[in-house]
A and B are shown apart, each in its own frame.
Chain A
C-alpha cells in the first residue's frame, strides 16, 4: 500500500516535472526543428513538429551566403582568448589570497566582486572613446581585453573558492619534505587544483561567448562575434525563420553542450558566495 502510494506520487511529480520542463525547453526545441524546415514550412499556419521534409539547405545557405564562419571564429578567439588570459592573471591572485591570508584578504575579495556590480553604462563613453583613440574599435584584441577585465572578478572568486578547499596539510607535508615554493605550486598545488581551474575556464568561456553588451557596442563587420552577428538578423532576415533558426542553432548548441557540464560551477561562479 505504502509502496503503491509513493509510486503514484512519483508518477504525478514526474508528469508535472516533464510537462513544465518541456514547456521551458520548447523554444529551443522549436528552433532546432525549424532549422531543418523549408522557409514555407517554417511559416506554415498549421506547423508540424516532425512530419515535414527534413532539409539541411538552411545550414548550407547560412554558411555559404554570409561570413558566418568568420564570426564563429571571432566568438571562439574572443571567448577562449579572454578566458585563458584571465586565468593567467587570476590564478596567482587567487593562490595568494587562499594560502597567504591576511586581514585584508576578505576586503580585497569583496572589492573585486564589487567591480562586477558596476553597470557597463557607467563606463560606456570613456571606454568607447579610449577604444576609438587607440584604434581598438572592432578588433578582436580590444574585445579580448574588455572580456578579460569584466570576467576577472568572477575568475578570481571561483579559483579562490576552489583553492580554499585544498587542505593545508598537503602543502605542509610538501614543505616538510623540503619542497620549494616553485615545487609547491607546480608539483603539489596545480595537479590538485586542475579540476577547479578547468571548471573556471569552462564557465568563463560560456559567459564570454554570450556577452552581449560590449560585443554589440564595440564591434562592427570585422571582429563581431556571433552575439553581434545574430543581432543583424533582427530585420528583415529575421523573418526567414528557417535561416534564422539554423544560424541560431549553430551559435547556441556548442555552448549549450558545454553548459550542461558546468551546472555546478554556475552556482559557484554566479552566486558570488551569497548562497552556500
Chain B
C-alpha cells in the first residue's frame, strides 16, 4: 500500500544520507584526482602547473612504492593466513559442548575491542621490548638471546599484533556460520561411520567456504588501511621495511607535503581497494537477493 505520498516521503527521508555520502565520496575523490596531475607541494608555493601523469610515474617507479607494495601484500596475506586458520580452529572448538563457554567467548572476543594504538604499544613495549619485555625475560629464562623484534623482524612483529586484533573477528563470524550448520547432516555422517576429520573436511569446511570468503574480503578492505599500528611502533622503518602503501602515502602527503605525489598514491590505493571491493560487493549482492 505504498501511496504516492509515502513514496515522496521516502525520497525526502533518503535525501540526507544519500547527499551526504555522495558529497563525502565524490568531492574529495575528485579533488584527489585533480591534485594528482599537478606539480603541487605545500612547501614550495608555485603556480601548481599541470604535469599530466608524471606524479603517477614517479610514485609507481619509486623503489619505496615497490617495497611497500610487497610489504602490504605480506602484511595482508600474513594476517589473513593466521586469522583464517586460527579462526576456523577457534570456531570449531567453541562450537563443542564445553564448560564456561560464555567466559571463553568473552576472552576470545576481547582483543577486537582494544583500540589499535593501545594494542600496538602494549605489544611493543611490554611483550616485544628486547630488554624488559616479557618475551625477552622468557628468552633469558630458557637461555637464548632475546629477539629485538622491531629492529630485526619489524614487519612480522606488526603482523603478529594485527593478527591478534583480527583473530576474534574471524572466529566470531566463522562460529556464527558453523552454528547454522544442519546438525542432521553430521548425525547422518556419524551413522555412516565418518571420523571427526572426514566430517570436518567434507561437511564443515565446505559449509564454511562462503563465510571464509566473506572474512577474507572484509578483512582485506580493513587491512589495506592499517596505519596506527605502524605509526606507533616502527614509523615504517627501519628504512621502508615496515611501510605499507597507506603509510607511504601518509609520509608523502603530510610529512613531505607533496600534495601531487600523495594524491597520485591515493588514487593508486583506491584502485587496489576497488579490486577487492568488487568481489565483496558481488558476494553481498548475491546474499541480498537470496
Q: Which of A84-105 contact B (CB under 8 A)?
A: 89-90, 92-93, 95-97, 99-100, 102
Tell me if A273 is interfacial: C-beta within 8 Å of chain B: yes
A228 to B217, CA, bound (A): 28
Q: A18-B100, A231-B232, A270-B218 are in contact. Are A109 and B288 (CB under 8 A)?
A: yes
CB–CB A238/B121 < 8 A? yes
A238 to B140, CA, bound (A): 22
Q: A34-B126, A89-B16 are in contact. Are A149 and B287 (CB under 8 A)?
A: no
CB–CB B115/A226 < 8 A? yes
Tell me if A206 is interfacial: C-beta within 8 Å of chain B: yes
Chain B: CB-nearest residue to A27:
B122
| Minimum CB–CB distance for B118 against chain A, Å | 5
Tell me if B169 is interfacial: C-beta within 8 Å of chain A: yes
Tell me if A1 is interfacial: C-beta within 8 Å of chain B: no
Chain B: CB-nearest residue to A130:
B28
A209 to B115, CA, bound (A): 8
Number of B residues, CB within 8 Å of A? 114
Which of B17, B111, B119 has most chain A Cβ within 10 Å?
A: B17
Q: Which of A118, A128, A130, A206 contacts B270 (CB 8 A)?
A: A118
A191 to B54, CA, bound (A): 58
Q: Mark B151-171, 1 if CB is under 8 A from A, else 0.
A: 000000000000010011100
| Minimum CB–CB distance for A172 against chain B, Å | 7
Q: Which of B1-27 contact A (CB under 8 A)?
A: 1-2, 5-7, 9-14, 16-18, 20-21, 24-25, 27
A275 to B277, CA, bound (A): 15
| Residues of chain A with a CB closer than 8 A to B259's CB | 125, 129
Q: Which of B104, B126, B273 contacts A117 (CB 8 A)?
A: B273
CB–CB B108/A115 < 8 A? no
CB–CB B281/A121 < 8 A? no
| Minimum CB–CB distance for A126 against chain B, Å | 4
| Minimum CB–CB distance for A96 against chain B, Å | 4
| Minimum CB–CB distance for A109 against chain B, Å | 7
Q: Mark A107-130, 1 if CB is under 8 A from B, else 0.
A: 011101111111111111111111
A14 to B1, CA, bound (A): 54
Q: A212-B116, A259-B110 are in contact. Are A274 and B217 (CB under 8 A)?
A: yes
Q: A117-B277, A227-B116, A244-B121 are in contact. Are A275 and B31 (CB under 8 A)?
A: no
Chain B: CB-nearest residue to A100:
B10
Tell me if A78 is interfacial: C-beta within 8 Å of chain B: no
Q: Which of B108, B126, B263, B274 contacts A125 (CB 8 A)?
A: B263
Q: Which of A30, A248, A273 contacts B121 (CB 8 A)?
A: A248
Number of A residues, CB within 8 Å of B? 99
Q: Which of A96, A112, A115, A266 contacts B172 (CB 8 A)?
A: A266
Which of B44-52, B57-65, B198-206, B220-228 is the contact stretch?
B220-228
A117 to B109, CA, bound (A): 24
| Residues of chain A with a CB closer than 8 A to B32's CB | 122-123, 125-126
Tell me if A3 is interfacial: C-beta within 8 Å of chain B: no
CB–CB B107/A24 < 8 A? yes
CB–CB B9/A149 < 8 A? no
Tell me if B56 is interfacial: C-beta within 8 Å of chain A: no
Q: Which of A28, A217, A234, A263 contacts B254 (CB 8 A)?
A: A217
A16 to B104, CA, bound (A): 11
CB–CB A27/B111 < 8 A? yes
A126 to B134, CA, bound (A): 43
Which of B73-81, B88-96, B182-190 is the contact stretch?
B88-96
CB–CB A27/B285 < 8 A? no
A114 to B26, CA, bound (A): 13
Q: List 28 A-B contacts (CB under 8 A).
A: A18-B104, A20-B108, A21-B108, A27-B122, A27-B126, A30-B126, A45-B137, A46-B137, A109-B288, A112-B18, A119-B273, A120-B225, A121-B249, A121-B265, A126-B28, A149-B24, A152-B17, A152-B20, A206-B113, A210-B116, A213-B227, A228-B117, A230-B121, A245-B122, A266-B172, A270-B218, A274-B213, A275-B210
**In the A-B complex, the 10 residue pairs with the closest CB atoms:** A92-B13, A96-B10, A259-B113, A212-B228, A126-B31, A123-B28, A93-B17, A274-B214, A126-B28, A100-B10
Can you add 20 more A-B contacts, CB < 8 Å, to A118-B270, A119-B246?
A10-B96, A14-B99, A14-B100, A27-B122, A47-B134, A96-B13, A117-B276, A121-B253, A122-B266, A124-B253, A126-B35, A129-B259, A153-B21, A210-B114, A213-B228, A234-B231, A266-B169, A266-B172, A274-B284, A275-B211
